[in-house]
Amino acid sequence: MVNTNEVFHLQGKVALVTGAASGIGLATAKRLAQFGVNVMLLDINEELGEKAAQEIVAEGGSARYFTCNVVSQQDCREVTQAIEEAYGRIDILFNNAGVIRRKTVVELEEDDWDLVVDVSLKGAYNLSKFVIPVMAKTGGGSIINTGSGWGIKGGDKAAAYCAAKAGVVNLTRAMAIDHGPENIRVNCVSPGDTDTPLLREEARQLEKDEGAFLASSAQGRPLERLGTPQDIANAVLFFASDLSSWVTGSVLVVDGGGLA
């Protein structure tokens, strides 16, 4: 039988996951913990974040919650320092936090634009800025950014989100080039419509019936269903592990064939 740790090489590693209190972030934190990773859950929702960490520990995993607003460079610096002091290393960073405003450029207020771009794009920059030097000290690591199908192809009434996610996609490539010599791999997972609180929030913003909206989001995909958070978590697991040891600067679309 194959020893999974010899294949994935994740046992004992330290991962930071942003937007970890729910949805894709939570599913990924749980998946990594199942493979022996010490998971640091970063989020602004203290109640849900603490609950998520407790759930992982109750299931036999290793997890801690940290309050962190990824838009704040000070928060990102302090959290990174605290984790390095506690564990002596950071091996995996999943820049996943994101928000959406379903509006055109005419409808968007400046605050809407700033929020969407800052959380998805600036947030990835902020944490990477402080985590990369820690990774470099211990021989490298893996950074995974959450993009979107709408970071590759445009979508309706989501101008700020499309712009932010397109930025994430090309930030991924630029970081891969810059930090490959430090043995730091940087890749991007680009989900299609996935059954998360964010997708349900889109229905509310568009004043759509939630059930009908979710059903319509699954239509037209060859696999004829919405994604699950676990679908995306498995793609992140691939990039975090040694299964992808010669993969960097890559964008993996996980969308049931929606962009095919």
Tell me the chain's radius of gyration from C-alpha atoms: 17
Query: How many other β-carbons are positioned within 10 Å of the β-carbon of residue 185?
Result: 24
Q: Where are the alpha helices (DSSP H) in the chain?
A: 4-8, 23-34, 46-58, 73-87, 110-117, 123-137, 159-179, 197-205, 210-218, 229-240
Which residue's structure tokens are 């964010």? 198
- Asked whether the beta carbons of 97 and 21 are under 8 A apart, the reply is no
| Cβ contacts of 184 within 8 Å, gap of 6 or more | 132, 135, 136, 140, 141, 142, 143, 175
Torsion of the alpha carbons at 57, 58, 59 and 60, rounded to the nearest 10: 50
Cα 89 from Cα 13, distance rounded (Å): 8
Classify burial at 136, counting beta carbons within 10 Å of its beta carbon; exposed 0-12, middle 13-18, buried 19 or more: middle
Cα 106 from Cα 80, distance rounded (Å): 38
- Buried-state track 248-260, b at ≥16 Cβ within 10 A, e below 16: beebbbbbbebee
Q: 65, 87, 125, 161: which one is catalytic?
A: 161
Cα 82 from Cα 68, distance rounded (Å): 12
Q: Is 65 one of the catalytic residues?
A: no
Active site positions, annotated:
161
